[in-house]
Structure 1
């Protein structure tokens, strides 16, 4: 409309007369979706027992990357062996540089539902290093030993060697929740989506005292977005504030 005004095809932009405003959306993470480390371990274990033809066992390491490294699903699906430093002992590192988000094939240039893209909110050639704990190093080493990697180095593949579809891992996910959780927890928002594993990881890091800039770098956020999105998931902040205010009042 503004361009039409510039070309003098319209005398003014009629949209300026519209008074409606889009409703506000919730940006913060619901703390009810965040599982604790014990629940995460139980859920990852349950994954190895569900799914047809051992599908859950094949996908367990994929979910572990979302929890231990806070990877987005598309980033985990695109992970390659050459991007992983997996030492025999100690911490390892992932170099995340591409993502394979699932979209409608008619909207991609290649016609593939998993078109390769750069990292969200970053330049096409940017790389995000993510340190990973020994637990995830061990899981990835075991996964590669058992299932191998694709011709392009991709760690996670379907039974036929293709890109893992979201429908496949969501189905396995729901089965694992029913096995690992109580009926009340299954009915609750607790890690209802695989993406909630990423929320659990970031919340854990922040509550462990890791600095916001470091957490933001690992998760691929800006610091301001990080603190705004995860504000409700920070435990113990209120008690600390109470103590500081009380100390100030008594001095």
Structure 2
């Protein structure tokens, strides 16, 4: 009842949104978080269509005559999707951070392979958290493979059909039954084999679990990650955005693939991106790769001239 009372006091009549000054106030509110601080550009970008759909529903119910959005000159903040590679860990630092995770006792050893999947397989955290033993091909020697099919983000129990706080979904922006195979290097194959040998798997086959055996919490592995940062980085580095979140390892993994000379099309496939998204997020890394390719072509042309 307290929540409904608060909503009643804070809400405006839907018809008032036909007034430009009220509409602008509502749109400007979309740019803020609950604590009043500016929201991320992508967050605002997601909120605007939701707000627009609410207005369209009001028209359908006869509460508004027309869509009022064109009455104000308002645009959402521009988004800058390109990754700042100053704060993406390189191969040496990524390895040091994963090792530091494994040095944090039993819990750290349990999560070491989880972070290995984020880096060496460029998995999203929600994808890695749902991996089962049968998701992998783990030969005794050489490269293996992981077959990704689901992601389990935490969304809150009020938003799932089961009443649990985790929702099992298909891969991001893919059909529900779509899969994605990713070759994994021997270092990750060994890490996973050691993980299974020491910790086994959950009843449903999952490799990575919370302390009590449930789904792995972002808060839980986030705390382990921050402890690893504090143990590896200098004080000034730890205060910076360098490798500030576990997702940084996925950025590092994709960057490694690009820097290794893998074609952008294959990198996009392995990472579960479209080519357009890959170029938008990893433009600088792709440009570095193209520069090296240009140099190779130039050397080949010069060699032909010398013949």
TM-score by length of 1: 0.89
> Which of residues 154, 158, 163 in structure 2 aligns to 1:102?
154
Cα distance, 1:180–1:3 mapped onto 2, change above 3 Å: closer
Task: Say which SS state the counterpart of residue 75 (structure 1) adopts.
Answer: helix
- 1:155 corresponds to: 207
Question: Are 2:288 and 1:236 equivalent residues in the alignment?
Answer: yes
Equivalenced residues, count: 244
Map residues 205-216 of structure 1 onto 2, 5 A cutoff.
205-216=257-268
Larger relative contact order, structure 1 or 2 (CA cutoff 8 Å, min sep 6): 1
> Which of residues 138, 147, 150 in structure 2 aligns to 1:86?
138
Question: Are 2:102 and 1:48 equivalent residues in the alignment?
Answer: yes
Q: How many Å separate the matches in 2 of 1:158 and 1:3?
A: 41
Contact 2:279 2:286 in 1 (8 A): no
Q: Deviations over 1:175-210 (max 9, x none)?
A: 011111222221221111000100000011111110
| CA drift at 1:27 | 0.8
> Which of residues 3, 14, 21 in structure 1 aligns to 2:68?
14
| CA drift at 1:13 | 2.1
Question: Are 2:163 and 1:111 equivalent residues in the alignment?
Answer: yes
Cα distance, 1:37–1:22 mapped onto 2, change above 3 Å: same
Cα distance, 1:11–1:168 mapped onto 2, change above 3 Å: closer
- 1:142 corresponds to: 194
Q: How many Å separate the matches in 2 of 1:231 and 1:62?
A: 27
Q: How many Å separate the matches in 2 of 1:44 and 1:198?
A: 13
Larger Rg: 2
Q: What is the root-mean-square deviation in Å for CA atoms of aligned residues?
A: 2.3
Q: How many Å separate the matches in 1 of 2:61 and 2:161?
A: 32
Q: How many Å separate the matches in 1 of 2:229 and 2:178?
A: 35
- 1:189 corresponds to: 241
| CA drift at 1:114 | 1.5
Name stretches of at least 5 consecutive residues in structure 1 with no aligned partner.
Answer: none
TM-score by length of 2: 0.74
- Higher share in helix: 2
- 1:35 corresponds to: 89
Cα distance, 1:10–1:167 mapped onto 2, change above 3 Å: closer
- 1:170 corresponds to: 222
| CA drift at 1:69 | 0.3
Task: Say which SS state the counterpart of residue 146 (structure 2) adopts.
Answer: strand
Cα distance, 1:125–1:6 mapped onto 2, change above 3 Å: same
Q: How many Å separate the matches in 1 of 2:241 and 2:287?
A: 18
Cα distance, 1:74–1:3 mapped onto 2, change above 3 Å: closer
Runs of 4+ that moved beyond 6 A? 6-9, 241-244
| CA drift at 1:3 | 6.0
Contact 1:5 1:13 in 2 (8 A): yes
| CA drift at 1:88 | 0.4
